[in-house]
Amino acid sequence: MDLIDAQAALDEARAGRLNDAQVKWLAEACHGDPRGQAVPYEVAKWADLWPGDGGSITRGALLDMGAAPAIDIFTASYLFGMGERGYGRSRYDRIRAAAPELGETLERVREIGRCQGPVFAYAQLYGGPDYDHRRRPGTPPWSRIASYGPAFFTKFLYFTVPGALILDARLAARVARLTGNDHGYLRNGRPVAWTPYRYAVYLHWMNQAAADVAVSPDLLELTLFNLAVADLPPRTGTTTPAPTDPEDDGDAAD
């Protein structure tokens, strides 16, 4: 049995394809190397877990971790996503305390992703194939982890599973703006619980858009993350106001 309707996901992504004006605009906006993205953090709070120096963690440093234990990449990717948020370390400690077998769980997810692809790995951490069948954290055969939603676990997937990309509240708002499809990513301007199907649509769309703009998917992802959503050219014929960014996506779509 298929996890999702793969053809429907591809068709939806194609329906939201960038128009020529959007392609030109984004081609001018995309530049640089994603590896150089540096996220500042409070060294004192993380010194026992992250041996880096200089008070920032770079995307390149995580990409270079390669075959490191999954728990180490979890820590680094969580720090990369949390940055200087004051509650970041305390939430990290709660996640670890509530999941004593976290390392083994993440190794399993990484292996599933490498064998079956990023959407299957996403479904593991999401807790099921769709919202109606989503299971509570710690319920086999899924690998859902309490207080660890897609806005953060897609960062882990990006650094461990080929083809995965980050999806958080900022990116959801920007893709909704460019595609004119708010309902798939947002509800009343807030992120929804993105299903594995929605993640499949997102991956198709990002790869399609990156090819049209002639950049790598992760450079497009970083560019969209950094741009103001209201500055993005809306899809022709849409009149929906640009969504606003949430003050904090720490719980986005959990």
The two tokens of residue 48 are 């026992």
The two tokens of residue 232 are 């993005």
Cβ–Cβ under 8 Å, residues 9 and 37: no
pTM listed for this prediction: 0.93
Tens digits of residue pLDDT in 207-227? 999 999 999 999 999 999 999
Tens digits of residue pLDDT in 62-104? 999 988 999 999 999 999 999 999 899 999 999 999 999 999 9
Cβ–Cβ under 8 Å, residues 176 and 186: yes
Tens digits of residue pLDDT in 142-193? 999 999 999 999 999 999 999 999 999 999 999 999 998 877 888 877 888 8
Q: d(Cα 234, Cα 254) in Å, to the nearest integer? A: 27
Cβ–Cβ under 8 Å, residues 163 and 117: yes
Mean pLDDT (the chain) is: 91
